[in-house]
Amino acid sequence: MNPILEQLKRVKLTSLAGPGLIILILTMMVLPLPPVLLDIFFTFNIAVSIIVLLVGINVRQPLDFSAFPAVLLVTTLLRLSLNVASSRVILLEGHAGPDAAGKVIESFAHFLVGGNVAIGIVVFIILTVINFVVITKGAGRIAEVSARFTLDAMPGKQMAIDADLNAGLIGEDDARRRRQVIAEEANFFGAMDGASKFVRGDAMAGVLIIVINIVGGLIVGIVQHDLAAAKAAETYTLLTIGDGLVAQIPSLIISTAAGIVVSRVGTEKDMSEMLLGQLFTQPSVLYITAGVIGMIGLIPNMPHLSFLGIAGAFAYLARKMDKRQLAEKEASTTSDALAARPSAESPSVEVGWHDVQHVDQLGLEVGYRLIPLVDRTQDGELLRRIRGIRKKIAQELGFLVPPVHIRDNLEIKPNAYRILLKGVELGRGEAYIGQFLAINPGRVVGSVQGIETTDPAFGLPAVWIDGGKREEAQTLGYTVVDTSTVVATHISNLLQTHSAELLGREEVQALIDHLSKESPKLIEDLVPKVVPLGILQKVLQQLLGDGIHIRDFRTIIETLADHMATTQDVDELTSAVRTALSRIIVQQLFPGEAELPLLTLDPALENVLMQAVQSKTGGGLEPGLAENLLASAATEAEKVEIQGYNPVLLTPPGLRPLLARFLRRPLPQMRVISHNEIPDNKTIRIIAVIGASKG
């Protein structure tokens, strides 16, 4: 016995309240109750309904009353169990008189309907119609729509939380709490949508119980208790109507509370503050209302006292509100003027570091229709693609690019997206969920119907088509890709192009830390004692800008360490590193080829460029020379590409940095290498000469 008693002591009485109430309600449906207990339970039912109504009126947010769906179910079961218990008593003891089922039912039958059966039936039907058709149906519809809208808005809200978290505006605890609130809000409105069906069923059950009790009472009174038909009809009908009203009025109150709770919008005010603050605070509205009511009151045969009295009350209230707003405006103007004066007693609030907003290294903004692509809860395909892109770039280039911070943006088109680098737009495009992009590679044999556009990654003509036309487009020669692939390819292309800008000091330090695990002595001796971190970063950025991966990080550091004693010039150090990486460079440009097809400069043009570089005058090339060089390079590059070769220009070592920077933007497909970067085991073949026609 002792262990059992100890266990009972640990159980809180409050934890037994819910199970105890449910068991009691179910027991009342089975066991007969004396009229005294019926009075107590009916009174308790009315009190609970009033409590629920007052709580619903005073809540500031729907989630403040998150237990309401459960309360709705419990109160509905309580009313139905009381109907069953009272029906049993009415049919068993109704012949004894109007108080056979308790004083509460008798009072409702006589006081509310005056003992008139017809009036009682009409009042009950009206209350049932109001409850079932108006309040319950409206509240259920609001809960249904609110649940749907809440679920639809969840991805955007989750992304907003992630954006605030990534931007440092909130912490992990705040983000976790906000996500929990969003989930609870969706669950609440979903539960309210389902719980409203209980109230509708309760109203229908009330009507059926009334009919059953009246018919059953007539049969019991006439057949078993030998009552006259009129006497039996009057007695049992009054008792049944009283029983129905006792249950229907609390049901009406509960339904009203449900409508008030689900119709609340986001605000920090209770219902009283909202009504008074939004209905009776505009003097112009009150003046117009007073005028209209006053004119109606002047019509002959109208109740002048009531109309003119209410018109005067509204006019007085409008005048009072007008004076109050004028006083508040004057006080606000005075306080603003005082606040504008410099005061030694009230120093201004200092600006802190929390006012500084950090810029994301990489960002992706999407319109609201593209949110499913990046929503974790909807298994967003683009999220996996972006992780794959970062892994691929890390494997190809040799460093890990920063994470892509994703957020929705309502200021752009619903189907649009923007790719940002350090807060600046790199590229944008449009995508359509559920459709496919048919890209024309230049060899299509027909056209396909759809939304004409341009491939955002490579600028090729393309068409957005429905899924049913996918096979047709492929048959015609189009390259067909899905929506997530379009966006992912665009992101990958831009990251590859701007990889040098993504390599900051933090990424370089991460590279050093990674290599230090494999070669700790190398890093300890060379970085940063011999090779400064800043110079290392600039050399790596130049290599990435030239399209060369930095996976062979050990060779890069060792080469820099060998040449740091003779020069600090970044271009010269980069040239030395490129020479050390010559096999890698040639392998990237000409995989598996022993003879290298290259472009070269006309000797005369080469001499002019060498003189320009050696003069050290700065300012770049002379405009006319630069224009001719660019035109000739573009022409020859196009010819080489038509022949099926990669346009690679071979120059002296001194010209390579200048020409690489000069041709990088207008001719991104052209690569520039120097004579020092040709491995000994490779031979060259000149396939074109730039500037030959110009002499």
**Mean pLDDT over residues 310-330, rounded?**
82
> Could you identify the residue written with the tokens 């819910």?
18
**Residue 129, both tokens:** 């119609």
Residue 610 in this model has a pLDDT that exceeds 80: yes
Q: Which residue has the higher pLDDT, 618 or 317?
A: 317
**Residue 529, both tokens:** 């004692």
Q: Rounded CA gap, 642 and 647, in Å?
A: 10
The pLDDT of residue 344 is 44
pLDDT band at 652 (very low <50, low <70, confident <90, very high): very high
Residues 394-415 pLDDT 10s: 989 999 888 999 998 888 999 9
Residues 231-266 pLDDT 10s: 777 777 777 777 777 777 787 787 787 777 777 655
**Mean pLDDT over residues 551-568, rounded?**
92
* Other CB atoms within 10 Å distance of the CB of residue 643: 10
Instruction: Output the CA torsion 494→500→506→510 (10° steps).
Output: 90
pLDDT band at 49 (very low <50, low <70, confident <90, very high): confident
DSSP per-residue letters across 87-153: HHHHHHHGGG-TTTT-HHHHHIIIIITTT-HHHHHHHHHHHHHIIIIIIIHHHHHHHHHHHHHHHHH
**Mean pLDDT over residues 169-193, rounded?**
75
pLDDT band at 2 (very low <50, low <70, confident <90, very high): low
Residue type, 381: E
273 to each of 264, 278, 305, 329, how far by Cα in Å? Answer: 13, 8, 30, 21
**Mean pLDDT over residues 448-467, rounded?**
92
DSSP per-residue letters across 515-579: HHHH-HHHHHHHTTTTS-HHHHHHHHHHHHHTT-----HHHHHHHHHHHTTT---HHHHHHHHHH
**Residue 522, both tokens:** 């190398």
- How many residues belong to the chain? 695
pLDDT band at 525 (very low <50, low <70, confident <90, very high): confident
Name which of 3-17, 149-163, 193-207, 584-598 the model is least confident about. Answer: 3-17
Residues 271-309 pLDDT 10s: 666 666 666 777 888 888 888 888 888 888 778 788 888
Name which of 212-221, 369-378, 526-535 the model is least confident about. Answer: 212-221
Q: Which residue has the higher pLDDT, 2 or 46?
A: 46
SS3 of the chain: helix, strand, coil, percent, to 5: 65, 10, 25
Q: Which residue has the higher pLDDT, 213 or 363?
A: 363
Q: Is the torsion defined by CA of 690, 692, 693, 695 positive or negative?
A: positive
**Domain 594-695: assigned CATH number:** 3.40.50.12790
Question: Counting runs of H as helices and runs of E as strands, what totals does the chain give?
Answer: 25, 12
Question: Please, are residues 363 and 498 in contact by the beta-carbon 8 Å criterion?
Answer: no
Residue 230 in this model has a pLDDT that exceeds 90: no
The pLDDT of residue 87 is 77
pLDDT band at 343 (very low <50, low <70, confident <90, very high): very low
The pLDDT of residue 83 is 78
**Domain 504-580: assigned CATH number:** 1.10.8.540
Q: Rounded CA gap, 203 and 129, in Å?
A: 9
Mean pLDDT score across all residues of the chain: 81
Name which of 141-145, 432-436, 527-531, 599-603 the model is least confident about. Answer: 141-145
What is the pairing mode between strands 362-366 and 404-408?
Answer: parallel
The pLDDT of residue 590 is 92
What is the pairing mode between strands 648-651 and 461-466?
Answer: unpaired
**Domain 362-500: assigned CATH number:** 3.40.30.60
Residues 105-122 pLDDT 10s: 777 766 666 656 677 777
Question: Please, are residues 585 and 543 in contact by the beta-carbon 8 Å criterion?
Answer: no
With a pLDDT cut of 70, the percent of the chain lying above it is 82
Q: Which residue has the higher pLDDT, 146 or 339?
A: 146
Residue 572 in this model has a pLDDT that exceeds 70: yes
Longest dimension (CA), the chain: 132
The pLDDT of residue 417 is 96
CA Rg, the chain, in Å? Answer: 41
